[in-house]
Amino acid sequence: MPLPRALSEAVEAEFPRALEDLKALVRIPSVSARGEGQDAARDAVARLLECAGLAVEIWPTKGPGVVFAEGGSDSRTLLFYNHYDVQPEDPVSAWHSPPFTPEIRDGRIYGRGTADNKGDLVSRIAAIRAFERAKIPLPCRVKFLVEGDEEIGSPSLPGCVRDKRERLAADACLWESSARDQLGHEMLMLGVKGILCLRVECRGPGRDLHSSLATSFENPAWRLLWALAALKDASGRIRIPGFHDGVEPPCESDLAAVQALPDFDEKALAGAGARDFLDGLRGVERRRLDYFGTTLNISGLTAGYQGPGSKTVLPSKAEAKVDIRLVLRQDPARIVSAIRAFWDEEGFRDVEIASWDGYPAARTPVNHPAVKTISDALEDSIGRRPLVAPNFLGSGPLYLFEGMFPTIAWGIASHDAHEHSPNEWVGLDDLRRGIRGIAGILLAFGGP
Amino acid sequence: MPLPRALSEAVEAEFPRALEDLKALVRIPSVSARGEGQDAARDAVARLLECAGLAVEIWPTKGPGVVFAEGGSDSRTLLFYNHYDVQPEDPVSAWHSPPFTPEIRDGRIYGRGTADNKGDLVSRIAAIRAFERAKIPLPCRVKFLVEGDEEIGSPSLPGCVRDKRERLAADACLWESSARDQLGHEMLMLGVKGILCLRVECRGPGRDLHSSLATSFENPAWRLLWALAALKDASGRIRIPGFHDGVEPPCESDLAAVQALPDFDEKALAGAGARDFLDGLRGVERRRLDYFGTTLNISGLTAGYQGPGSKTVLPSKAEAKVDIRLVLRQDPARIVSAIRAFWDEEGFRDVEIASWDGYPAARTPVNHPAVKTISDALEDSIGRRPLVAPNFLGSGPLYLFEGMFPTIAWGIASHDAHEHSPNEWVGLDDLRRGIRGIAGILLAFGGP
């Protein structure tokens, strides 16, 4: 159903205010990593939601609190998930304009948080206002869950979702993020991988020794390296018993979704500055692994002397950071136990899992009716049918909402919007289209 | 032959001047790593040697030059090897008195270079002067080779030895260093291991990637780690074909020398802050490995994120520093080729040996007559028969003199003299005993 003319005009009319709202939010440096500006951002978001006619509550958490808002008719319920915090702005010197001073250049607005995800948030709120301006009652029930520490791993969210499960009930959730792909297609993303981050340590002598003593003393860098090599062999095979237990291969519709996605191998290679993909995989084979494969990645290695030249030292300590992307049915705690048991079995009791953190994967099935509802709504409202990615390569705490509602991510930014990097931007057209697309989705949710 | 009374008295009389000479040399901060103070130290050493009645030459090199001095009778020739440079003094804050301001406390003189090896040098020169004071002609021919960049790997020495081979001819060389052991025994050391330092690099994508892309892109940290694990397996076995080619097991007299050395396992464990030795070896078994075993040591590992917490990155580069201690008949260049060939064979063409540096081992046989001459001389002059270590666990450029003369290291310092560390010291008694010991060795060299 295309937007009624009055609504379409109201969407246009709301754009300037949405832009001002975005500028005002970007000016608040709500950097959760430093615990800065979160209160001010929380209160500003609460005011925006109130002005859009919603009933707003601040739910206290161990962090800066969650903004919850609710309104609309008593039909089906759509929950919007967003966050009011942003990534740190450094390196500041790499920005062409100050990160917390929004600046418009060449049809884009630059500033920290424009794409991730203050732009999404203001476009969603503007769409609510557009209904009021058009004097059309909100066609469905609307809820907002806006948290303030997403960028540091959402430490407050599990408690909040546990406590407020009933208040958060919905028929579907529109998540933040997702972005247009390398070829400019709108994208829905239907899941996230889980993640397990491990810090692994091995300790040797009480102090760094002269390396000539390597005849007599064990080197913890070797121990660490052998223990890691035991986890995954040089062919890339993960050797941890039980690692893949319970993992199901992607179903027919998952594979069909992957098959339907366009091929941008060359752009991906160029973007990464790589000559080839792992194992030479290409096209649908590679995409299938991207969306449904696990990883066992070394994100950091530290031991001994790292300066210029050589210093012949036998280090007293070696450390690795490892991250593992999980697919459905893989439980982080179970995998930590499996690694510990495997290392014990293989003679690596001295290699310590010093700390770990993680959560499981979650996905919405590609054939869930809400996917079609949203796809149709976007096609009708902005004239672009989104591609449907059955999963996201990265991770997020979607698992908290499992069994509550289907979760679908759609965002207004482009894949190259420099999220988490200097010179983050969102296009003015992105913002305009975002308001329109959300208005269409709200209409569709209120429909039969 | 004990020292004649006149010589013994002259040794005592020379001690105060030797102490003043040492203080004067310590005041010159001849830190080769920073290229500082080397000219001043060189000239001061040249003057000391001249004042001792020797003919001095400065041999220009690509570094600060070598001081060569010669004198004495036309009998057998003893060459002294020393250096006038020192290690950097940092961390300065850890010194109890300024590193270049000699200070006497509790019978020790503290300052950078007191033990390594300005104390050795002044005691050797004082012994020469003692003969003059005692009106006894020098009983043998004496040569001094004093270089100025030993602490940065003696880059000038190979060219100097090649050019001046005939001028350096001698019947034996008394090397610097060596030290009293953990139980206070005087020690002669008869060789050094060779060394091969490698910097190994593996490159992946053109920039650090988000670790979720590990399904598609090779991680160079894994490649590096697998390549290193291929070199040495978790049992400690070195798998490089040809690595041990030509290496001969220690001979009967080598083993007897190791057997004769005292056991200080417990002190060694405590000193290293370790609970046990590699593979649980103890006593003579462990000492045999120390003196005659090779090592393949990881002295540094660097990849990805090394800060607190986790950052899920797929690093674009990984690097390792590796050092290998070599025994007789192992050639560094041949071993580099063997590693390259092995990695190529095992599928690690992408792992690059970015740079390497090294030199071979060299040893004087334990039953060389000069060993007995020096041992007897020390027993006669200072009343202590030295232990004979058939090798040194560390490395040095002794190979340059192979085939020229036997080289034997004897030094005046204690094993805990903090060489290369803050609060370096040498005992006043060490200095006194050093002059006497050298006088005895000179006498013995002039003997029948």
- List, for residues A425-436, the tens digit of each pLDDT value: 999 999 999 999
Band of the pLDDT at A287, cuts 50, 70, 90? very high
Paired with B395 in beta bridges are B193
Band of the pLDDT at B239, cuts 50, 70, 90? very high
The answer on pLDDT for B384 being more than 90 is yes
pLDDT in tens, B181-236: 888 899 999 999 999 999 999 999 998 898 999 999 999 999 999 999 999 999 99
Three-state SS at A207: coil
Maximum Cα–Cα distance for chain B, whole Å? 83
In sequence order, the 6+-apart residues with CB closer than 8 A to the CB of A77 are: A140, A141, A142, A143, A169, A170, A171, A172
DSSP state of B428: H
Band of the pLDDT at A160, cuts 50, 70, 90? very high
What is the average pLDDT score of chain A?
95
Band of the pLDDT at A241, cuts 50, 70, 90? very high
Give contacts of B268 with chain A, Cβ < 8 Å.
216
Query: Within chain A, how many helices (H) and strands (E) appear?
Result: 11, 19
Name residue, tokens 């050094």: B192
Q: What is the pLDDT of residue A75?
A: 82
Q: Residue B310 and residue A199: Cβ atoms within 8 Å?
A: yes
The answer on pLDDT for B310 being more than 80 is no
Q: What is the pLDDT of residue B420?
A: 83
Q: What is the pLDDT of residue A308?
A: 84
In sequence order, the 6+-apart residues with CB closer than 8 A to the CB of A118 are: A22, A25, A26, A84, A86
Q: Which of A149, A150, A176, A331 is catalytic?
A: A150
What is the average pLDDT score of chain B?
95
Contact A268, A278 (CB under 8 A): no
pLDDT in tens, B96-118: 999 999 999 999 999 999 999 99
How far apart are alpha carbons A268 and A273 in whole angstroms?
8
Mutation target to probe the A interface, by most A beta carbons within 10 A, among B233, B288, B298 is B298
Q: Taking CA atoms, what residue in B is nearest to A312?
A: B299
Q: Residue A315 and residue B300: Cβ atoms within 8 Å?
A: yes
The answer on pLDDT for A448 being more than 80 is no
Name residue, tokens 């003199």: B401
**A266 and chain B in contact, CB less than 8 A:** no
Number of Cβ pairs closer than 8 Å across A and B? 218
Q: What is the pLDDT of residue A143?
A: 98
Of B232, B304, B315, the CB nearest to A222: B232
Listed residue (A408, A413, A414) closest to A444, CA to CA: A408
Domains of chain B: 5-192+361-446 (3.40.630.10), 194-247+294-359 (3.30.70.360)
Give contacts of A221 with chain B, Cβ < 8 Å.
298, 301
**A180 and chain B in contact, CB less than 8 A:** no
Percent of chain B's residues with pLDDT above 90: 86
Q: What is the pLDDT of residue A309?
A: 79
Half-sphere exposure of A45 toward its Cβ, with a 13 Å CA cutoff?
35
Paired with B66 in beta bridges are B59
Q: What tokens does B255 get?
A: 């083993």
Listed residue (A322, A256, A343, A337) closest to A292, CA to CA: A256
A182-191, B38-47, B435-444: lowest mean pLDDT where?
A: A182-191
Give contacts of A266 with chain B, Cβ < 8 Å.
none
Q: Which of A14, A21, A85, A254 is catalytic?
A: A85
Q: Residue B306 and residue A293: Cβ atoms within 8 Å?
A: no
Contact A161, A401 (CB under 8 A): yes
pTM of the model as a whole: 0.90
What average pLDDT score do residues A267-284 get? 93
Of B206, B214, B296, the CB nearest to A297: B214
The answer on pLDDT for B332 being more than 90 is yes
Band of the pLDDT at A404, cuts 50, 70, 90? very high
What average pLDDT score do residues B86-105 get? 93
Query: What type of residue is B378?
Result: L
**B214 and chain A in contact, CB less than 8 A:** yes
Residue B127's CB is within 10 A of a number of other CB atoms, namely 29
Min distance A54 CA to chain B CA atoms (Å): 37
The answer on pLDDT for A306 being more than 80 is yes
pLDDT in tens, A346-394: 999 999 999 999 999 999 999 999 999 999 999 999 999 999 999 999 8
Instruction: Supply the Cα-derived Rg of chain A in whole angstroms.
Output: 24
Name residue, tokens 């700390």: A355
DSSP state of B441: H
The helix-helix angle for B5-26 and B38-51 (nearest 10°) equals 160
pLDDT in tens, A127-145: 999 999 999 999 999 999 9
Three-state SS at B30: coil
What average pLDDT score do residues A260-267 get? 92
Mutation target to probe the A interface, by most A beta carbons within 10 A, among B216, B224, B233 is B216
* DSSP structure string for B107-134: TEEESTTIIIIIHHHHHHHHHHHHHHHT
Q: Taking CA atoms, what residue in A is nearest to B281?
A: A216
Q: What is the pLDDT of residue B151?
A: 87
- A141-147 and A351-359 beta bridge pairing: unpaired
Task: Answer yes or no: A150 catalytic.
Answer: yes
SS (H, E, C) A132-175: HHCCCCCCCEEEEEEECCHHHCCCCHHHHHHHCCCCCCCCEEEE
Mutation target to probe the B interface, by most B beta carbons within 10 A, among A177, A212, A306, A420 is A212
Q: Residue B211 and residue A299: Cβ atoms within 8 Å?
A: yes
In sequence order, the 6+-apart residues with CB closer than 8 A to the CB of B366 are: B190, B253, B254, B256, B257, B388, B390
